Amino acid sequence: MSWNIQWNKLIFSSDVSFDEKCRSVFRFQAKNNPFYKRYLSVFGMNFDSSPDPDEIPLLPIRAFKDAEIITEHEEPAFVFRSSGTSGMERSIHLIADPGLYRKSITKEFYRHFPREHYSLLCYMTGYNENPDSSLIWMSKHLVETDSSGCSSFITAEKQAAGRYIRKIKEKNRIPVLFGAAFGLLDLIDAGISELPPDSHIIETGGMKTYRREMTKSELRQRLAEGFGVEESQIHSEYGMCELLSQMYAIGGEWFTCPHWVRVTIRDPENPSRICEPGEQGKIGLIDLANVYSCAFILTEDRGTKNKDGTFQVLGRWSSADLRGCNFLIDRD
């Protein structure tokens, strides 16, 4: 079989149905990803199989800790590593085609925050210790692709932050402050909280929960009060080192997916079973941008899904291995 497919075009094309794209990626991985191929064989599947997306076995996310997950004949251009304290196992995501990540980042981010109106201020202090962070890479890419030149990384230094904010406003643009939840709270504590009232905040989840535990709704309220914006301007991002796509919860706690990602909630006792709307389980993801690693992933995150297809992240299924990609504390 020839795999002369331009994944970059196919995956992000809205002219091709998700199911069709998913089938192509499945067959490609069933043939070319040795790890996933062995996994599938136990379920009696191979590259000739044509399962519905919901029937495709999801690979436990710890595979990214235990093995090199990459399709044959691909050399990684670079590597993402999850954050983690010493002694903690870290996930490794080998990136064969950075172009897929670039496109995935910008397509979904600019869908919510069009590039002609918004500029980004990234506060990522906690992640500087991890040079292989996918979140830092993503932030850099978004800063670099802002042709207005107004996007930037900021520190907790008040005057410098103020200059960046003024620059954005002088160009009649809207600031989007982007950072890990507890880093943003640090900014408030540092007095860097004077944002224009039309600003938006995106929190990317916890940072090893180095402060006291806090629910999502409590966090949203504190961010809104601290930065002087409406709660409807507080958003969340759900992403992780093992994924090349991100999901956003706009103005609330319910996430939507880009059209090349599908989320299901899986029964932890039987991951083949998809939970009913409202039922809690492990978050299962099909991220077609992961075509060169593994697109079919069962996370250890606890979630629930609505009838309208939006989903909520409620923490870790097991509290034993807190990693810090999204908000980890069960809601009240």
Partner 1 sequence: MSGTQKHIEKISKTVEEWLRPDNLQLKDAIERTAAASFFSFEDIKHRILVLKHSLTQKNLEKWAKISKLRENSLRDKDVLCLHAGNLPLVGIQDLLAVVMAGGSYSGKISRKDPHLLQTFLNILDVNGLLPNSHWSTEISDLSGRNADALLFAGSEHSVDSVLQTVQKLKLLKPEAHKLMRTAHFSIAYITEHEPQTMEDLTESVFRYGGAGCRSVAIVVAPFHLNSQKCSFTDYVEALWLNNPQHEKPPESLFHRFAYNKAMEIPQAWLNDFLIEQTFLKPDNKFILHWVKGNFETVQTIVNQFQDGLQSVYSTADYIGKKIGEFRIEPLSEAQSPPVWWKPDQVDTIEWLQTHIGKSAN
Q: Which residues lie near partner 1 (CB under 8 A)?
A: 35-36, 38-43, 57, 59-60, 63, 66-67, 268-273
Task: Please report how close the Cβ of residue 239 comes to partner 1 at its closest, in angstroms.
Answer: 24
Q: CB 41 → partner 1: shortest distance, Å? A: 7
- Rounded Cα distance between 13 and 260, Å, is 8
Q: Are 222 and 185 in contact (CB under 8 A)?
A: yes
Report the nearest approach of partner 1 to the CB of residue 54 (Å).
15
Nearest residue (CB) to partner 1, 41 versus 128: 41
Q: State the angle between helix axes of 216-227 and 181-189 in degrees (0 to 180), rounded to the nearest 10.
A: 40
* Residue 25 beta carbon to partner 1: minimum distance, rounded to whole angstroms: 18
Q: Which is nearer to partner 1, 35 or 118 (CB)?
A: 35
Under 8 Å between Cβ of 233 and 200:
yes
Instruction: Give the relative orientation of helices 34-42 and 18-32 as an angle to the nearest 10 degrees.
Output: 100
Q: Which is nearer to partner 1, 217 or 272 (CB)?
A: 272
Say if CB 323 and CB 90 are below 8 A apart: no
* Nearest to partner 1 of 1, 42 (CB atom): 42
Q: Which is nearer to partner 1, 237 or 242 (CB)?
A: 242
Q: How far is the CB of 66 from partner 1 (least distance, A)?
A: 6
* Residue 107 contacts residue 247 (beta carbons within 8 Å): no
Query: In the chain, how long is the greatest CA-to-CA distance?
Result: 61
Question: Least distance to partner 1 from the beta carbon of 297, Å?
Answer: 12
Q: How far is the CB of 23 from partner 1 (least distance, A)?
A: 21
Beta-carbon contacts of 59 under 8 Å, excluding residues fewer than 6 positions away, are 35, 36, 39, 69, 294, 296, 297, 298
Nearer to partner 1, 235 or 266 (CB): 266
Task: For the CB of residue 44, give the shortest distance to partner 1 in the complex, in Å.
Answer: 10
Which residue's CB is nearer to partner 1, number 27 or number 107?
27
Residue placing its CB nearer to partner 1 in the complex, 76 or 268:
268
